[in-house]
Amino acid sequence: MRRAMPVLEIADVMVSERFYCECLGFRSHGRWGDPPTFVIVQRGLVTLALDKTRNADRSVPLNQYWAAYLYVDDADALLHEFRAAGVDIARDIEDAPYGLRDFDVRDPDGHLLGIGHMLTGDHANAGLMPTQP
């Protein structure tokens, strides 16, 4: 396996696309449907699909905790970037017991995204990051 593309169920394609692109720095790869019901966004090697809910009678379902976890080179720098963009920081940055320095952001639909980088030292080989691209 080489990559993954989590699919998040959302309420409004335009609102979500704007948030991921303008606030989180992703780039849109286009929208599908008329009106749009699906969009793919990407930043670096991270790709997310945003899929409009087809059931108007219920709210967008949420994961038990993270909808996706994004591994980055420098979580502190990204946190600073996101704060400057007004992103809702759901959990402040911390060195977690599972070997990552991470924080959480919340998107317009309430999905939590975990964002972090590996700690050095004893946790550097925790097996949570692939060793090859």
Predicted confidence pLDDT, tens digits, the chain (133 residues): 888 899 999 999 999 999 999 999 999 999 999 999 999 999 999 999 999 998 777 676 777 899 999 999 999 999 999 999 999 999 999 999 999 999 999 999 999 999 999 997 444 444 454 444 4
Residue 61 structure tokens: 């379902």
Q: For residue 30, what pLDDT is reported?
A: 93
Q: For residue 54, what pLDDT is reported?
A: 85
SS3 letters for 39-92?
EEEEECCEEEEEEECCCCCCCCCCCCCEEEEEECCCHHHHHHHHHHCCCCEEEE
Domains of the chain: 7-55+65-123 (3.10.180.10)
pTM confidence score: 0.84
Sheet with 7-10, side-by-side order of all strands? 7-10, 46-52, 38-43, 27-32
d(CA 111, CA 133) in angstroms, rounded, equals 27
User: Measured in whole angstroms, how far is the alpha carbon of residue 94 from the centre of its chain?
Assistant: 17
Residues 6+ apart with CB under 8 A from 20: 26, 28, 41, 48, 50, 107
